[in-house]
Structure 1
């Protein structure tokens, strides 16, 4: 009999600059996506050294408030505004894939309440305390890196993705980060066998720069990424449980996030938002365009009215507990009230020893600790296994009733996939398997 615990699969499922107190608000109506979004616009005046901006607070039917109370929107609204922003730029830079994800989430409000890349004060506050200077929780610093000695505060740069104008950044700050401290605090280790520490040490530039972002155009991606405002406009008014993943969804994942709606802290009319990340992940992950196809065929096959599917332009850090907080915060901005925390969420193994960098429940423990302050409830992932007698049940029930547990290792699954062997339907959806085989 071929074996794999569903739990091994589930462990893979689970991944400021300027801000200031809001001034009195005035209302403005806007239509986004399928619904009408009534917004509150607050003029922001930032203290010296911080950026000024305009923020929008979504007050449609969605239950969840954005992080910090306002949903940031940094997009230029007219061709004239775009032209004026571009005219200020004296330098043009091509964004790296990671920078492109960060810029997009700044532009669309996914990183609310940020209005740009973090200055040194904000960066240090997040690294040291996991919070912004005003005490608001923030998991991982959002920084713009460069090796350019000549790039200085006061410069406005045009950020491009190929020939496409994406955003401008008006730099206000330049600093030399303490990278060993950053990696130790954020990733829990400064050892470069951790993929996040390796990225900070070898892929990021010598300097970080803070500055205000003005959005021009969304990046064009394999995954169509809606903004937080667009997603909020389509969600119902009740509880919304977010499910983060970066791999194809198989049977165990589906059982996990649909059963999450039965959790005691989820209301009866709750729904699930499956929200895969589509930015850079790990080198051995399935390519983004293939993952997107698997999600789309599964969405069509299941056609579950309690399950919504959207995509997130986020670059994974594999930062374990800290990244769990970052994901909860981002999904809060997308309208989610709950977040499923998997075993060893956003975890990684040493590239040298193969040992896990985080304990299986470190992310869950930190998420529970921060849940109330963050304003997002946690839904721990069930430890599910597949049994011949009763299908998917908890491991405890299977052991108690002495059920025959079906197992299949990830290595064996990939070998069967390559060899054209039949994949058990209890393990994977046929539609997903077909996409994976067609794109090997």
Structure 2
């Protein structure tokens, strides 16, 4: 592993071993314990190996992790705001024993790197959430991932990269930090301002970035994140096609586009500081920090997680040490009388301000409504409409959850018939018992196996949904965490509708034709939901139905009305 030195950004860690050593190390990796990297870990590995996370040389050891968590600095004092850790499950941590190295593989089993096991510990993840994100509210996507989806053991150590993760999309736009630095040098660009985004760009963004480049007297790098962003964001394939169309509206030879395979944490001020360091590593001299940079929205009480300009304040505080200049910007709005976009602080009393929020844009797309030219370019809207049709044409999942005997399967079957009768889309029923027989026959009823069964159902439902079909799911799904994972996966390609069949336990037990509740109370069936195993009641489902005195046909009618209200099906004419 070496360090590259370039005119932009200082030292850059090169995490890949020399080509002559790759084959022998791959052979050696065959005898090492192997960990299959998660999607987030794959993003982090790529950033580490390419030097985007310089000065890091691997996943953090405990001393660095705790120093970053508490003080935003590595143990050597270097400024770094975000923990970069390799989390593994307890089973793997126990299995590796005293192994001094482990192999890190992609989902297809390809060895990407060897990690020197220098440290292993169990972190206090709630403390990490509080320190890094300033909250333990699970509505924060970073907190949700940390507390509900990350593994309990961290392994730290230096990386020996064998190859980078493979990408088959937009290869002409994927550049490592070293490649971008070389491009800037070739073009003769000495001042480069970077723009971070995870959303499609419209006229306001073009005006903002154009002004920022003028202020900085710099060329512009549009540097969108195409790794992991906020759940529910528009897919990166659509976004990149929109960026390419927007690029034509900048002056020639002033702007370039490159993709960043980063896993965002939505960490607000800390994340902004992190983004600035990453752009410095890519050779940029300036970085745009806008309103509520990398903010995840509001918490469970409706209050914003971060102040609108907290990120700008933190970056400004460390700007001299960072070695990259912040270009702060307020929200841009369209002033009708001037027929142009302006920062909000330049708007005068009496000016007519026009604005379309992200929520309003999604509503207009969902309902097929007009989107004015002052907001965005026609070719961008055409692309968005092509990949995000109106809601009544999108796929969706109806996910029933409730106790055994609550009426889930009965209602699901009746809903299946009703939706087939409408005939607007293909419909598939994924009933709990049927899935257990055909998809999860080898699984038991431990928490781990229950979660795996629900996630399998969610995977199939997400595939059906993103391809424009309707999935009806009816498992017990007793645990909040696995239901949230399914919601996130389905929502990436369509709409998720959770229906809690809230029929009380005593009613469910009284309906028990198979005698399962009696066997559970007698201790003959272990881990039975509602008796010897908990059912975590959904907090905010789209709908609740108690079938104690509600016939199936009436329940289905209520669901159909809900689907109509959500715009997923159109009322009968």
Q: TM-score, normalised by structure 2?
A: 0.63
Aligned to 2:124: 178
Structure 1 segment 320-339 matched on structure 2, within 5 A: 320-339=268-287
CA distance in 1, matches of 2:303, 2:166: 37
Is the counterpart of residue 159 in structure 1 residue 111 in structure 2?
A: no
Q: Which residue of 2 is the match for residue 365 of structure 1? A: 313
Residue 56 of structure 1 corresponds to 4
Q: How many aligned residue pairs are there?
A: 375
Alignment match, 2:544: none
Whole-angstrom CA distance in 2 between matches of 1:195 and 1:410 = 18
Contact 2:336 2:353 in 1 (8 A): yes
Could you tell me whether the CA contact under 8 Å between 1:159 and 1:168 is conserved in 2? no
Classify the secondary structure of the residue corresponding to 1:385: strand
**1:255-280 CA distances to partner (integer Å, 9 max, x unpaired)?**
111100232xx2x3x11111101111
- Cα 1:65–1:409 shift into 2, 3 Å: closer
CA distance in 2 between partners of 1:116 and 1:406 (Å): 47
2:82 is aligned with 1:140:
yes
Q: Secondary structure at the match of 1:316?
A: coil
Deviates more, 1:156-165 or 1:334-343: 156-165
SS at match of 2:106: strand
Q: What SS does the aligned partner of 1:56 have?
A: strand
For 1:30, the equivalent position in structure 2 comes to: none
Are 1:229 and 2:174 counterparts? Answer: no
Match of 1:258 in 2: 210
SS for the counterpart of 1:427 is coil
* Structure 2 residues without counterparts, runs of 5 or longer: 389-573
Q: 1:397 — aligned with what?
A: 346
> In the alignment, which residue of structure 2 is the partner of 1:197?
143
1:123-179, Cα deviation, whole Å (9 max, x unpaired): 111111101112110010111010122234503213224254422222221111121
Listed as ranges, the gaps of 5+ residues in structure 1 are 1-52
Q: Residue 251 and residue 65 in structure 1: after superposition, are their counterparts in 2 closer, same or farther (change >3 A)?
A: same
Partner in structure 2 of residue 168 of structure 1: 114
CA contact (8 A) 1:159 1:169 kept: no
Q: Which protein is richer in helix relative to its size?
A: 2
Deviation at 1:351, TM superposition (A): 5.4
Root-mean-square deviation (CA, aligned residues, Å) is: 1.8
User: Is the contact made by 2:61 and 2:157 (CA closer than 8 Å) also made in structure 1?
Assistant: yes
Answer yes or no: is the 8 Å Cα contact 1:416–1:423 preserved in 2: yes
> What is the CA deviation profile of residues 43-79 of structure 1, one whole-angstrom value per residue up to 9, with x for unaligned ones?
xxxxxxxxxx4222224xxxx323xxx211112342x
How many angstroms does 1:238 deviate by?
Answer: 2.1
Matches of 1:418 and 1:350, distance apart in 2: 23
**Counterpart check, 1:429 vs 2:377:** yes
Query: Could you say which residue in structure 2 is the equivalent of 1:249?
Result: 201
1:24-423 alignment to 2 at 5 Å? 53-59=1-7, 64-66=8-10, 70-78=11-19, 80-89=20-29, 90-147=32-89, 148=92, 149-152=94-97, 153-221=99-167, 222-224=169-171, 225-235=174-184, 236-263=188-215, 266=216, 268=217, 270-300=218-248, 302=250, 304-350=252-298, 352-390=300-338, 391-400=340-349, 402-423=350-371
User: Alignment partner of 2:206: what SS?
Assistant: helix
Deviation for aligned residue 1:411 = 3.0
Larger relative contact order, structure 1 or 2 (CA cutoff 8 Å, min sep 6): 1
Q: CA deviation at 1:429?
A: 1.7
* Distance (whole Å) between structure 1 residues aligned to residue 88 and residue 133 of structure 2: 21
1:348–1:158 CA distance, 2 compared to 1 (3 A): closer
Cα pair 1:250 1:429 within 8 Å, conserved: yes
DSSP 3-state at the match of 1:231: helix
Contact 1:143 1:209 in 2 (8 A): yes
On the 8 A contact 1:320/1:363 being kept in 2, the answer is: yes
Secondary structure of 2:95's match?
Answer: coil
Work out whether residues 86 and 158 of structure 1, in 8 Å CA contact, stay in contact via their aligned partners in 2.
Answer: no
The residue number in structure 2 matching 1:35 is none
Could you say what secondary structure the match of 1:399 adopts?
Answer: coil
Give structure 1 regions of 4+ aligned residues with deviation exceeding 6 angstroms: none
What is the deviation of 1:237? Answer: 3.7
Larger Rg: 2
Cα deviations by residue, 1:347-392 (Å, 9 ceiling, x for unpaired):
1234533321111111111110011111111111133221222211
Q: 1:259-308: CA deviations, max 9, x gaps? A: 00232xx2x3x111111011111221011222122122222454642212
Deviates more, 1:314-323 or 1:383-392: 383-392
Cα deviation, residue 313, structure 1: 0.9
Q: Give the conservation status (yes or no) of the 8 Å contact 1:228–1:335.
A: yes
Cα displacement (A) at 1:88: 2.7
